[in-house]
Copies of this chain bind each other. A is one copy, B any other.
Amino acid sequence: MSGAPWYFDCDTGIDDALTLGLLVAEGADLKGIGSVSGNLSAAGGARNTLDLMALMGRPDVPVAVGAHDPIGGVFGGGAEFVHGANGIGEVELPHVGEPVAESAAAMLVRLAHEHPGTLRVLAVGPLTNLALALELEPELPSLVADVVIMGGAALVPGNVSAVAEANIWNDPIAAQAVFDAAWPVTMVGLDVTMLARFEESHRTELAAGGAAPAALAAMLDVYFQYYTPILGRPSCALHDPLAAAIALGVVVPTLAPVAPVEVDTTDGPGRGQTLVDLRGRFVGYPAQPDVRHTVPLEIAEGFGDRLLESLLRLP
């Protein structure tokens, strides 16, 4: 499926930067990239995306600025404590190119019409642009091959509350719209992304690579600082890259039941949680007709090695 046309939606972001690297290294046919507020503002994320794509030798891919605010809310200011003030760990890249004039949601709708039935959507930030695109074009689900998101948590704790993961937390209403729409959604959540790790040894090897790998390694310094007390050693989780790897088929989850996902859009303590009905776990998660959500729960070890191998191919 890596020959398929892709729309990529991101909030670049250190692990988004690694993801751009993986997509480029694996030769994904990127037709367009939209940004959304999350790790930083949508405008800042588009800037980082343009600069990184140029550094990686792909200044040709159009980048659209997406939604600044979540549906029915106001952007909360991002996660400087995770990704640094500029979103990419204070690494300064040459500014190359400008975003296109259309919005990210409009870009997604246009690409879906240009590649009906084959466009694949990978979204690793809050799902605001996808929800807006569904409003713009109610037929969108029938035009898109599938949607893979990084977000949510099924049987593990959240990362912004006891139960909520940041991307869903940042726009629960948009997430609910994406899960409700009639397209297949693979939810790559914390169940598996917290198991996917980059270690200090990976970072050291990456730093010895070309300009793009070295820049990514420099960003990871900041990301490692955030994750070291959480993980108990210098390392980080590979949230967004794992979603891309699963979408690309580079990683095949060892357990990924089909199960309905509902989002908590209340203002209660569960706000932003993805409620995944996994009650069939003792009998091998029996097939549930009409359910379109796939939730990876287990992956094999070794994704850090595989990601490093890909990233070292970048210029």
Instruction: Write the residues of chain A forming the contact surface with B, with a CB cutoff of 8 angstroms.
Output: 155-159, 161-163, 194, 229-232, 260, 262-270, 273, 275-279, 281-284
* Interfacial chain B residues near A265, Cβ < 8 Å: 268
* Complex-state Cα separation, A156 to B276, whole angstroms: 10
Set B157, B262, B278: member contacting A278, Cβ < 8 A:
B157
A282 touches B230 (CB 8 A): yes
* Interfacial chain B residues near A270, Cβ < 8 Å: 163, 264, 266, 268-270, 273, 275
Give, as a whole number of angstroms, the nearest-CB distance from A155 to chain B: 5
Residue of B nearest to A261 (CB): B162
Lowest 8 A-B CB distances belong to which pairs? A270-B270, A266-B268, A162-B277, A232-B283, A162-B275, A157-B279, A157-B278, A266-B266
* Interfacial chain B residues near A230, Cβ < 8 Å: 279, 282-283
Give, as a whole number of angstroms, the nearest-CB distance from A14 to chain B: 19
* Complex-state Cα separation, A231 to B177, whole angstroms: 33
* Complex-state Cα separation, A161 to B277, whole angstroms: 8
Residue of B nearest to A275 (CB): B162
- Given A232-B283, A266-B268, A269-B264: A155 touches B158 (CB 8 Å cut-off): no
16 A-B pairs with CB atoms under 8 Å apart are: A155-B156, A157-B276, A157-B278, A158-B279, A162-B262, A162-B279, A163-B275, A194-B282, A230-B282, A230-B283, A232-B284, A264-B269, A265-B268, A269-B275, A270-B273, A270-B275
